[in-house]
Amino acid sequence: MTISRRSLLIGLPLLLAGCQSMPNQQAMYSDVTTEPFPLKKVPLDKIKPELRRQEVAYETAYSAGTVVVDTPGRRLYYVLGDGRAMRYGIGVGRNGYALAGNAYIGRKAEWPTWTPTPNMIRRDPEKNLKYAGGLPGGPNNPLGARAMYLYRGGNDTLFRLHGTNQPWSIGEAMSSGCVRMMNHDVIDLYARTSVGDKVVVLQA
């Protein structure tokens, strides 16, 4: 059986269209050398496809620019409008630590300093007391490459949307209450958001 040149030319765009999603994801999660602390590519074989960044259909009453944290679903949505959103996989806080309801982004930071809260120091002084003065940003910082600090009424809730140096934790409930994202994803979300943007945290 032979394939004519015309048939090949007609079928080639369809074949390429069906193969685009994987190379695009590989590019999104490739090595990043432009950061102060370069990022290695994400091992996608260890990240479930549904936890990788992608634009999806998302019908909601929230306006474009709203960040919706679906805690039970382990997903974060950045509302694009017109029934679409950018979806990210997240890691969430253990039971009893998570924020619920409305907040807003009070400030943003690149490669932020991490400082344990007083409660964290009281719960585990051996682990956290040495960082009471703050741990500078870097590859070993638990806040990762970016952080967005959530506020209510002008007050810091001590709840953050941030990166992580443990990409395998995405999809799990294990942090001390904050929402963690893969560093590649938090950089993308950081670029989309502004101080003052609304954040909605949904609980079960």
- Helix, strand, coil shares of the chain, percent, nearest 5, are 25, 35, 40
Q: What is the largest CA-CA distance in the chain?
A: 74
CA distance 161 to 46: 22
Q: How far apart are CA 135 and CA 138, in angstroms?
A: 9
The answer to whether 193 and 108 are in contact (CB under 8 A) is yes
Contacts of residues 115-122 at CB distance under 8 Å and 24 or more positions apart, as own/partner, are: 117/158, 120/176
52, 160, 162, 180: which is the annotated catalytic residue?
Answer: 162
Residue 164: strand pairing partners: 182
Smallest CA-to-CA distance from 140 within 111, 117, 165, 175 is with 165
162 is a catalytic site residue = yes
Question: Which is the catalytic residue, given 90, 143, 150, 178?
Answer: 178
- Token look-up 């019908």 returns 59
Do 69 and 202 contact (CB within 8 A), yes or no? Answer: yes
Residue 144's identity, in one-letter code, is G
Residues annotated as catalytic are 162, 178
